[in-house]
Amino acid sequence: MPNDKDKQNILIIGLNWLGDAVMSLPAIQRLHEFFPDGDIYVLCRDSLKEVYRNSSAVTDTLPFSTGGKFISTLKTGVSMRKYNFKACVVLPRSWRSAVIAYLSLSPVRIGYKNSLRELLLTGSMPRGRFLTRHRVEYYTGLLSLLGADAAPAIPQIAVSSEAVAGARARLQALGTGANGMFIGFCPGAVYGNAKRWLPERYAELAKKIITVYNAKILIFGNTAEKQIGDELAGAAGMPGSIFNLAGTTGIGELAAMISLCRAFVTNDTGAMHIAAAVGVPVAAVFGPTDPVTTSPYGNGHIVISRNLPCAPCLKRECPAAHECMEAVTVDEVYDAVQRILTRSGI
């Protein structure tokens, strides 16, 4: 446990969603460049520690204390004091994260203004300054309060050769074959049904890709989305060519398996950002969310969306006819996949 009072220990209060965690990685790297001799710790949920520990800029992750929300907030904030943090970067917009920063006794505490929580911070800026820009830029932009380089960069997740070999071995054990072409699908979305392109259209798309490219479809998602994968595979009716991996991979194995794919077809999900961060071209279907702020960041990705009067509504469930997703056709998404594969020489 670090307790050297002369050490530049830096605390980052991390985010609660997988995609946001991935999009915050460039900000952590910029912070490391600004404090090259400092140790950076990220306070985060256990489910996201693999994302943050993947960054070479992160010394370690720290867990939240247990108990009710109020008690755990107090306990977590006070427990941070033993690290003698010199600065704290508050990435979430919540009051809870600002209270933890305040209780840590870090002399420098920066974050975005929100509902007067800036009273607990030593430096803050209005959220509107970066709110309409991509989340990567939103998180790096906050570092300008420290005088650090706030230029955005493409999020990157490193996948080791050992992890890739393990992913290949597992896929072969499932019967995918040794040298097949893999196309990743993520038909779910944790945020809500409104973000989901129609499962029956994913099934039609899968049949078309398998028929034309003799590819194997790998379906990803969390445990709750396994049923969606099963329904997709059943509707496609092509056994031996579609493999439902939803709910069976941790974040590390998820990244390794996605890295084996030649393209990744997805809704606006955390897995979408994992794919972009491991360098796999993404075809992303956007409906109620805003591709300006949460699209896959980097080059070579294709976003399919409709510029409807009601979009982006940011609703979890569509109160109307779900036109933003209904209007996206199989041929349109297939064309995006073709363009991606053609660029890679297939």
What type of residue is 105? L
Identify whether the C-beta of residue 257 lies closer than 8 Å to the C-beta of residue 239: no
Every domain of the chain and the residues it spans:
9-146, 161-343
The CB density around residue 271, as the number of other CB atoms within 10 Å, is 30
Whole-angstrom CA distances from 183 to 168, 302, 334, 335 are 14, 15, 12, 14
21 — phi, psi (to 5°)?
Answer: -60, -45
Identify whether the C-beta of residue 214 lies closer than 8 Å to the C-beta of residue 181: yes
287 — phi, psi (to 5°)?
Answer: -125, -85
pLDDT at 173: 94
Query: 9-146 and 161-343: same fold?
Result: yes
Residues of the chain with pLDDT under 50: 1-5
State in words which class domain 9-146 has: alpha beta
Q: Which two tokens stand for residue 328?
A: 């996206």
Identify whether the C-beta of residue 122 lies closer than 8 Å to the C-beta of residue 109: yes
pLDDT at 6: 54
d(CA 166, CA 30): 31
Burial letters 55-80, b for 16+ CB under 10 A, else e: bebbbebbebbeeeeeeebbbbbebb
pLDDT at 76: 97
d(CA 257, CA 95): 37
3-class SS of residue 270: helix
The CB density around residue 149, as the number of other CB atoms within 10 Å, is 15
pLDDT at 3: 47
Burial class (CB in 10 A: 0-12, 13-18, 19+), 197: buried
Strands (E), the chain: 9-13, 39-43, 60-62, 85-90, 109-113, 123-126, 182-186, 216-219, 242-244, 261-267, 282-285, 302-304
Residues in the chain: 346
Fold for 161-343, please state it: Rossmann fold (3.40.50)
Under DSSP, the state recorded for 110 is E
